[in-house]
């Protein structure tokens, strides 16, 4: 059974009623997709199609489970494990389309569907993983796995599924299973509500409207033009800034109006914490309590212990020790950055202490002073199209693959791009969707997902359909979309996830491409390293008007500024990671209210008042609405691996070293699920990873 991590679900009875009338023959989900490469026919899919398709998917999936359970033959790998691995394919196809669009292009109807379907899917999954007869058949195969003539991959699949069932409560007594069902149901709805509240807080409930041009002082022309476009789209006069990072961050960097910087930043960091209908405080308290209860039920002292037991780190103590090794040198670096910025404030006659909403503004001044560099000088060289082509070039030189733009594939939004990916010999690899810009129905951030996973059956590979979704600066006036450096590296990052999905090889859904959560950021983060290499920059950093390559002097400044603001970036990230761990290491409910717990936890860690955690609790979507609970640490855990891996390329004298690229693709991308994460990494590297390259990269050593 493939992992149904999609958040799906509806309380809108009008929608439900209309869905019931849907004729199956008119529903695209009920037949093969008659599209090139069998991509989803987005132009034919309507919201009324989802509920009948979900209902049919759950019906078919349960029939497949019953066929396994009621098989009178002795349980074998084929009739039990393999049959289970292939069950639920119809439901997965529906879930992937709905889940991805509900994140990238949602609306009121989609959110209503989500509220209806989510508890049904939770029950469906519990009905499977708490099915005693099914578990006994899997246990029989598990107990005999070494006696049977199974190959190493089949043994691994058996062991993974057996462990999945154990971790999902299969060994619990009947009354405890009922308790687990109730916990799962309530948790799924709480997480769904958290996300919907946050979407409303981000995209609907705050706008910084400026009508007086004097309030635009300090802002670059491109930023002003974008704000004018935003106002026009909203039917407003003047200029509008919102809480998406392409709008907010440039305002914080350049606006000379301190009161307005505070206003927009306060709007951002108070999301979900305003005491209104979208307040997330009570939801967080309930989630933390219920997760702790579920962990106890499953035999773990805390939710963190439960989650991390399945990761490379293994224990919360290991994670905490690892984070503190980085926190200890990073905090003094951040404090020194405060000193540097306060000197500028004092020199300019400011009669105030640096506050969180001042950080971007004065950090930009520090960058100009120390490196003679500012963001506005870089943007003209980072047009979105050029950056995209640059990352394609890197992948082509590393792996020999090609990218051909397709204009004949259906898309869910008109500005989404599609590409056909092939090997150098023309053999298909998969399809790539790129969705770049913010819209009212898109959640914040950037992510990579898929509409179809890669799988091989009887020697024939079903090629994946991968999707990258971002929230980058939009085109404005006569300018194309011009990215800042953070957006450039973000695109390379998500593309790394995309390559992981495109290259995946395997015969079983349970292991093909499946890695621990603290490994999964290795494929993405390693790609960021290529973005700033000189020979890579020369291929894509070209002025959007003249086509001239970024001057060597500017390129040198960019590279030398790699240590710029690293204290802040490391500390704000680590603060969020430590906060996540604090919440989920509780063995019981929160002892105090959420805001007090957050403040107390960060004060104990020593966080300085000039820095907020990258995510405050009430908008910490990764852990309360995503798959990173007790796992936000994974980005920096994987950073040890990615820095060490890229160091191998650097030490070889060729950042496109074909031998290393082939080994990395095989062991760390294509076949990464065939063994444990560190085993696969060592197959590539030939040794344990060293933390030194990461420490040097962040200026911590």
* Active site residues per annotation: 494
Report the C-alpha gap between 28 and 33 in whole angstroms: 7
What is the token pair recorded at 352?
């105030």
CB of 376 within 8 A of CB of 3? Answer: no
Report the C-alpha gap between 64 and 83 in whole angstroms: 8
- Burial zone of 62 (CB within 10 Å; 0-12 exposed, 13-18 middle, 19+ buried): middle
β 417-422/239-241 pair status:
unpaired
Using the structure block, give the residue that is written with the tokens 């609907």: 204
Report the C-alpha gap between 695 and 701 in whole angstroms: 5
Q: Using DSSP, state whether 10 is helix, strand or coil.
A: coil
Phi, psi of 629 (to 5 degrees): -60, 135
Using the structure block, give the residue that is written with the tokens 């990579």: 448
- What's the number of CA atoms in the CB half-sphere (13 Å) around residue 673? 25
Would you tell me how many other CB atoms lie within 10 Å of the CB of residue 549?
Answer: 16
Please give the C-alpha separations between residue 316 and each of 107, 169, 310, 584, 627, in angstroms, as whole numbers: 38, 21, 11, 9, 17
CB of 406 within 8 A of CB of 420? Answer: yes
Helices (H), 421-551: 485-503, 522-531, 534-540
Report the C-alpha gap between 189 and 114 in whole angstroms: 10
- Burial zone of 60 (CB within 10 Å; 0-12 exposed, 13-18 middle, 19+ buried): middle
Report the C-alpha gap between 140 and 157 in whole angstroms: 14
Using the structure block, give the residue that is written with the tokens 């773990």: 300
What is the token pair recorded at 383?
């047009």
Single out the residue of 621, 492, 63 nearest to residue 71, CA to CA. 63
Report the C-alpha gap between 637 and 580 in whole angstroms: 15
Cα R_g (the chain), whole angstroms: 25
CB of 84 within 8 A of CB of 165? Answer: no
CB of 541 within 8 A of CB of 597? Answer: no
Report the C-alpha gap between 62 and 48 in whole angstroms: 23
- Burial zone of 284 (CB within 10 Å; 0-12 exposed, 13-18 middle, 19+ buried): buried
Using the structure block, give the residue that is written with the tokens 């799988």: 455
Report the C-alpha gap between 455 and 511 in whole angstroms: 10
SS3 track for 99-133: HHHHHHCCCHHHHHHHHHHHHHHHHHHHHHHCCHH
CB of 316 within 8 A of CB of 305? Answer: yes
Find how far residue 528's CA is from the centre of its chain.
Answer: 15
Report the C-alpha gap between 665 and 396 in whole angstroms: 12
Element (H or E) spanning 435, and its range?
A: strand 428-435
CA dihedral defined by 268, 497, 487, 568, rounded to 10 degrees?
60
What is the token pair recorded at 132?
């005693």
SS3 track for 305-332: HHHHCCCCCCCHHHHHHHHHHHHHHHHH
CB of 466 within 8 A of CB of 498? Answer: yes
């Amino acid at each position: 059974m493939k992992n149904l991590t999609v958040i799906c679900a509806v309380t809108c009875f009008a929608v439900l009623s209309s869905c019931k009338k849907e004729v199956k023959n008119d529903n695209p989900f009920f037949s093969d997709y008659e599209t090139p490469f069998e991509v989803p026919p987005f132009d034919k899919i309507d919201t009324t199609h989802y509920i009948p398709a979900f209902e049919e998917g759950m019906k078919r999936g349960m029939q497949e489970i019953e066929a396994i359970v009621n098989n009178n033959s002795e349980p074998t790998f084929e009739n039990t494990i393999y049959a289970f691995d292939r069950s639920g394919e119809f439901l997965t196809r529906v879930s992937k389309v709905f889940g991805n669009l509900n994140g990238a292009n949602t609306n009121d109807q989609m959110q209503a569907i989500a509220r209806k379907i989510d508890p049904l899917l939770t029950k469906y999954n519990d009905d499977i993983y708490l099915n005693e007869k099914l578990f006994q058949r899997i246990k029989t195969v598990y107990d005999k796995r070494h006696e049977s003539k199974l190959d190493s991959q089949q043994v691994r699949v058996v062991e993974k599924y057996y462990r999945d069932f154990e971790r999902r409560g299969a060994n619990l007594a009947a009354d405890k299973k009922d308790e687990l069902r109730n916990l799962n149901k309530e948790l799924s709805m709480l997480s769904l509500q958290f996300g919907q509240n946050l979407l409303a807080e981000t995209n609907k409930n705050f706008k910084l409207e400026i009508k007086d041009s004097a309030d635009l002082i300090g802002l670059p022309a491109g930023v002003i033009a974008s704000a004018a476009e935003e106002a026009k789209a909203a039917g407003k006069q003047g200029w509008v800034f919102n809480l998406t990072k392409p709008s907010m961050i440039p305002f914080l960097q350049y606006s000379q109006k301190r009161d307005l910087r505070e206003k927009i930043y306060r709007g951002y960091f108070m999301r979900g914490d305003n005491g209104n209908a979208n307040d997330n405080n009570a939801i967080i308290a309930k989630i933390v309590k219920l997760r702790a209860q579920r962990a106890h039920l499953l035999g773990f002292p805390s939710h963190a212990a439960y989650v991390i037991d399945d990761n490379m780190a293994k224990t919360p103590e290991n994670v905490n020790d690892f984070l503190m090794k980085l926190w200890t040198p990073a905090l003094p670096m951040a404090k020194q950055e405060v000193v540097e910025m306060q000197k500028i404030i004092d020199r300019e006659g400011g009669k105030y202490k640096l506050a969180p909403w001042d950080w971007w503004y004065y950090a930009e001044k520090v960058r100009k002073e120390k490196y003679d560099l500012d963001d506005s000088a870089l943007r003209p060289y980072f047009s979105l199209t050029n950056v995209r082509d640059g990352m394609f070039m890197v992948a082509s030189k590393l792996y020999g693959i090609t990218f051909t733009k397709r204009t004949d594939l259906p898309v869910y939004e008109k500005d989404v791009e599609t590409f056909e990916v092939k090997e150098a010999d023309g053999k298909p690899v998969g399809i790539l969707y790129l969705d770049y810009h913010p819209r009212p129905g898109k959640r914040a951030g950037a992510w990579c997902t898929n509409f179809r996973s890669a799988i091989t059956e009887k020697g024939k590979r079903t090629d994946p359909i991968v999707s990258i979704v971002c929230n980058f600066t939009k085109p404005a006036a006569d300018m194309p979309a011009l990215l800042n450096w953070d957006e450039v590296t973000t695109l390379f990052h998500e593309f790394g996830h995309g390559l992981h999905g495109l290259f995946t090889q395997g015969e079983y859904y349970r292991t093909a491409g499946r890695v621990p959560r603290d490994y999964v950021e290795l494929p993405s983060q390693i790609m960021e390293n290529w973005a700033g290499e000189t020979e890579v920059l020369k291929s894509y950093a070209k002025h959007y008007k003249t086509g001239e390559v970024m001057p060597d002097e500017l390129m040198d400044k960019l590279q030398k500024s790699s240590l710029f603001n690293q204290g802040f970036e490391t500390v704000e990230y680590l603060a969020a990671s430590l906060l996540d761990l604090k919440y989920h290491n509780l063995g019981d409910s929160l002892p105090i209210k959420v805001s007090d717990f957050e403040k107390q936890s960060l004060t104990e860690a020593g966080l300085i008042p000039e820095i907020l955690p990258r995510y405050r609790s009430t908008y910490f979507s990764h852990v309360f609405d995503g798959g990173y609970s007790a796992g936000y640490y994974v980005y920096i855990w994987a950073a040890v691996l990615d820095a060490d891996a890229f160091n191998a390329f650097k030490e070889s004298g060729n950042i496109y070293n074909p031998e290393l690229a082939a080994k990395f693709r095989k062991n760390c991308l294509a076949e990464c699920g065939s063994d444990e994460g560190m085993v696969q990494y060592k197959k590539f590297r030939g040794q344990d990873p060293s933390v030194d390259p990461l420490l040097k990269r962040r200026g911590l050593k």
